């Protein structure tokens, strides 16, 4: 799995945990619905750290909590 897929799955996991939709997450995070939809659909495979931080702020979690997931343990090497 690559980082883009892991971020996508983590966002969906957090939405389920917090019982909110992706669109609601976009609203409470202050990012556009199109940006978040592009991330979770896989069209955008490289969410910025700034976007991830806004998501964390919207969910009232730390960026460390975001990345504390088994999804990020065995990522493919990006540079070969």
pLDDT in tens, 20-32: 999 999 999 999 9
Q: Domains for the chain: give ranges and CATH numbers.
A: 3-70 (1.10.260.40)
Residue 77 pLDDT: 79
* pTM for the model: 0.91
**Average pLDDT of the residues of the chain:** 94
Q: What is the spatial distance between Cα 9 and Cα 54, in angstroms, rounded to a whole number? A: 17
At 36, list the tokens.
């978040």
Residue 68's nearest CA partner among 77, 79, 56 is 56
């Amino acid at each position: 799995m690559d980082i883009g897929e892991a971020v996508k799955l983590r966002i969906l996991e957090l939405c389920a945990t917090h019982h909110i939709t992706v669109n609601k997450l976009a609203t409470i995070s202050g990012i556009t619905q199109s940006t978040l939809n592009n991330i979770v659909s896989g069209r955008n495979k490289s969410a910025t750290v700034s976007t991830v931080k806004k998501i964390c702020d919207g969910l009232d979690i730390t960026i460390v909590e975001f990345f504390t997931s088994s999804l990020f343990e065995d990522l493919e090497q990006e540079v070969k």
